[in-house]
Homo-oligomer: A and B are copies of this chain.
Amino acid sequence: MPLQYNEYYNERTGLTVGLKKLLFSEQSEYQLVEVYETDTWGNLMTIDGMVMLSERDEFVYHEMISHVAMFTHPEPKNVLIIGGGDGGTAREVMKHGSVERVDMVEIDKTVVDASKRCFPGVGDFANPRLNVLYEDGIEFVKNTRESYDVIIIDGSDPVGPAEGLFEKEFYSYCFDALSENGVLTAQTESPWVESYHPSMKKVYHAVDDLFPLSGMYLAYIPLYPAGMWSMACASKKEDPLGRAAHDRAEAATGIISTLRYYNAAVHRGAFALPNFVKEIISR
């Protein structure tokens, strides 16, 4: 086992984390899933050498990929998560009392196994509202007859099995699988990693073409490349930046008190894009 984990996102620029112990390592049908005990970030999961989450910073990603859409929808009951095998997104979604059922479609059971074994505080897999399916998310969305209030695309980077999650075709299936006031969120990589700009652009232009309302927002995730992470929010009817979404988040003091990143002001402020980020997704 190496003493340090290194992920390079720009030639030899990258992140270094001190490691203590290898806890899990399995080459699945799709990818290499590993978990390390680190010196200061708790346990850390990597897939094919890319950081997925650490116990110490996972709250940022999971809160921000969930609550923006969940508070934009007035009463989300049926939620679909594509990917999200560690369970953190489902945990956040199920904090909303209106939620009756969450379908989580994870292609790789190994990710769920690793999370259950090494991230006991992340997943809430025993929750009876959570329905985990080990299937291809793209095929699932294409063929489902369900109608979802919220769809969250919580896949990994646009290499390997998650590649199709950055294609326009996939977002048109999502549009059809959403209810009439449905809301979608997808993770769309770091604006500082130039090799991912084409994938980012593709997703933004796709949701902009397909949905009446769409936008990019940002969150700071220290163990992801460059710390700046982008997400797409697309909506059929409800405005993610509207008064109603803001007021719902502000009124939900029970949920907000459990959160360490998201709040009503952060929801709105996250959509304020620096000039260079706007340029990346401009037509």
What residues make up the interface of A, taking CB atoms closer than 8 Å to B?
3-4, 6, 8, 10-18, 38-41, 59-60, 192, 218, 220, 222, 226-228, 256, 259-263, 265-266, 268-276
User: In the complex, which residues of chain B have a beta carbon less than 8 angstroms from the beta carbon of A261?
Assistant: 274-276
Among B11, B222, B275, the residue within 8 A (CB) of A40 is B11
Closest Cβ of chain B to A95, distance in Å, is 14
Chain B residues whose CB sits within 8 angstroms of the CB of A228 once the complex forms: 220, 222, 227
The docked-state distance in angstroms from the alpha carbon of A15 to that of B272 is 27
Nearest to A219 among chain B residues (CB) is B274
Query: Which of A6, A192, A256, A274 has the most chain B CB atoms closer than 10 A to its own CB?
Result: A274
Bound-state CA distance A27–B233 (Å) is 50
- CB<8 Å pairs between A and B, sample of 7: A13-B16, A13-B38, A218-B220, A220-B226, A256-B275, A261-B274, A268-B269
Nearest chain B CB to A249 CB, angstrom units: 12
Chain B residues contacting A275 (CB-CB under 8 Å) are: 256, 259-263
Residues on the B chain within 8 Å of A12, using CB: 3-4, 16-18, 39-40
Cα A22 to Cα B263 in complex, Å, equals 45
B273 touches A266 (CB 8 A): yes
Quick one: which of A17, A59, A261, A275 has the most chain B CB within 10 A? A275
